Structure 1
Amino acid sequence: MCLSIPSKIKSINSEMNTCIVDTMGVERSASLDLIDQEVVVGDYVLIHIGFAMNKIDEEDALESLKVYKEIIDKMDELDRKEAILEADKSY
């Protein structure tokens, strides 16, 4: 199963049609090739296998991030490391 964590756009490279996103403190590059909405720095998007797929409302994004943080806070260290490794496989 793949969960998409809301990611905030930090910068956009129009020439390459990519952006840098912050996903709970981790910055990654994502392609904008598949998103059918205009996005700007500060918008929240959902990323799947390195592609921004949907732009989402900031209020919804912040609520989702709050729930993810609660889940992470309840995980033990080993579970956290396994979750991070699993998430990295999807990129």
Structure 2
Amino acid sequence: MCLAIPMRVIAVDASGLSATCEAKGQQRQVGLIMLDEVVRIGDYLMISLGQAMQKISVEDAKQTWAYYEEILNFSPSH
């Protein structure tokens, strides 16, 4: 199973086919070919396997990171 990661666009190349995105202090080059809408600096995208899957709101990005942090901090009680 693959999880998509919410990332913020910090640069878009001149062709519009890729962007530099940032999340949690990490930057990645991301393909935009699967999107059917224009991507701008400041947009949030869901990224999976180096490709943008969809544009999302800042609220959805924050909520997704909150879920991931909850999962990562999970400690089962035995």
- With the length of structure 2 as denominator, give the TM-score of the two structures: 0.81
Equivalent position SS for 2:70: helix
Provide the alpha-carbon RMSD of the alignment: 1.9
Deviation of 1:60 (Å): 0.9
- 5+ residue gaps, structure 1: 77-91
Which amino acid is the alignment partner of residue 37 of structure 2? Q
Structure 1 residue aligned with 2:10 = 10
1:21-32 equivalent positions in 2, closer than 5 A: 21-32=21-32
User: In proportion to residue count, which structure has more helix?
Assistant: 1
1:45-78 deviation line (CA, Å, top 9, x unaligned): 0112211110011111111112212333x269xx
1:24-44 deviation line (CA, Å, top 9, x unaligned): 221100011111111111111
* Maintained 8 Å contact 1:37/1:54: no
Distance in 1, Cα, partners of 2:74 & 2:25: 18
- 5+ residue gaps, structure 2: none
Equivalent position SS for 1:46: strand
Structure 2 residue aligned with 1:48 = 48
Count of matched residue pairs: 75
- Percentage of matched positions with identical amino acids: 33
* Maintained 8 Å contact 1:31/1:50: yes
* Maintained 8 Å contact 1:19/1:30: yes
User: In proportion to residue count, which structure has more strand?
Assistant: 2
